[in-house]
Amino acid sequence: MAKRILVVEDNDLNRKLFCDVLRAKGHEVLPCADGNAVLGAAREFSPDLTIMDIQLPNISGVDLIQAMKQDPTLAAIPVLAVTAYAGKGDEEKIRDAGAADYLSKPVSIGPFMAAVDALIAA
């Protein structure tokens, strides 16, 4: 069944790849490159899942995840965090912020879709 997925990624190639793969699986996708627009886009789009890059200009993906989890209209939306900068303790910090799952870049399509499918099936 098609789901609505918000893709927050500032890298054009990664955003296009994620969106293309998700659309090919039949999902409705809203790309978002600007971290400052995420909360408004999420409220308007009402996604079933948010894919969140952690390293965004102007605002941290961790801060956005925390803000979503504190917003009653967004708190129930699972977040799949994706980041290239996975240092010691980063995964724990990201999960503590409220991310339901975590992938480090570069992301392979198989594990990416497995994580997406697991989160939208829940």
Each residue of 17-27: pLDDT tens digit? 999 999 999 99
Measured CA to CA, the distance from residue 114 to residue 71 in angstroms comes to: 27
pLDDT at 89 (0 to 100): 85
Residue (of 53, 44, 51) closest to 120 by Cα position: 51
Measured CA to CA, the distance from residue 52 to residue 58 in angstroms comes to: 14
* Cβ 51 vs Cβ 72: under 8 Å: no
Q: What is the per-residue DSSP string for 87-107?
A: -TTHHHHHHHHT-SEEEESSP
Joined together, the tokens standing for residue 121 give: 């099936």
Q: How many domains does the chain have?
A: 1
CATH number at residue 50: 3.40.50.2300
pLDDT along the chain (122 residues), means of 10: 95 96 98 96 98 94 98 98 84 95 93 97 79
Domain limits for position 103: 4-121
